[in-house]
Amino acid sequence: MRLQLYLTARQALPFDHLPTLKGAFHRWAGHNNDLHDGLSLYSLSWLRGGRGSRNGLHFRDGAHWSISAHDPALIHALVGGVVREPDLGLGLTVRDARLLTPPPFQDGEQWFRVLSPVFIKWQTEKGQTADHLTHTDPRADELLTATLRHKLRQAGLDDAGAAVRFDRTYAGAKTKLFAYKNVQCRASQCPVIVTGTAEQIRFAWCVGVGNSTGLGCGALE
């Protein structure tokens, strides 16, 4: 299920505003250790509708923000949180909200645009600095697939046959450098193709692909 939020923005946003979005999500969701510390079976998009300038992002016509989750109960909890506290911080306020059900997917392959860049971390040894892999790296698809299958198993769903790959034929694919709490990250603004059953594809639409979907990466349109 997906919660589509429409926001007003009273001031320019700093580029490093993702922690504010994550903080609002967790306030709305309420106290839940599994949600805060566990595997993210949900995905947060980036804000859409803004224009960049030297002093930040401007949303003169408002911003759109998508929050999706495998568990509908989480989405309903978020709705209650939004009603209680519509202000996110940084001058952002929810002015409208809509609940969206997943599209009627079919078994096979499904092409998706991304609502936020896909982030992939590759760490060969514990404690070693992780590499950030992009759509041009031949290891990327294998890691995307492994992450999706791991999340499917964590949700108690069959992971057999599920796969994710970048659409490398897409002419507009590019990488995106973004900051999260002053840490520089490199991700891919590139469509993906999810293969599997209708249930597996629907799951990917809800939880996103790649790493850090709970921080705002890998959300699917």
Q: What is the pLDDT of residues 161-197, one digit of tens each?
A: 999 999 999 999 999 998 887 788 999 999 999 999 9
- The more confident residue out of 66 and 123 is 66
Residue 221 lies in a domain: no
Residue 78 lies in a domain: yes
Task: Write out pLDDT tens, residues 36-82.
Answer: 667 899 999 999 999 988 889 999 999 999 999 999 999 999 999 99
> What pLDDT, on a 0 to 100 scale, did the predictor assign at position 31?
73
Residue 11 lies in a domain: yes
pTM value? Answer: 0.93
Are 118 and 92 found together in one domain? no
Bridging pattern class, strands 174-180 and 183-189: antiparallel
> What pLDDT, on a 0 to 100 scale, did the predictor assign at position 131?
87
Residue 9 has pLDDT above 90, yes or no: yes
Are 52 and 118 found together in one domain? no
Are 93 and 124 found together in one domain? no
Residue 127 has pLDDT above 80, yes or no: no
Domain that holds residue 48: 2-100
Residue 161 lies in a domain: yes
Are 74 and 140 found together in one domain? no
CA 24 to CA 6: how far, in whole Å?
Answer: 14
Domain count for the chain: 2
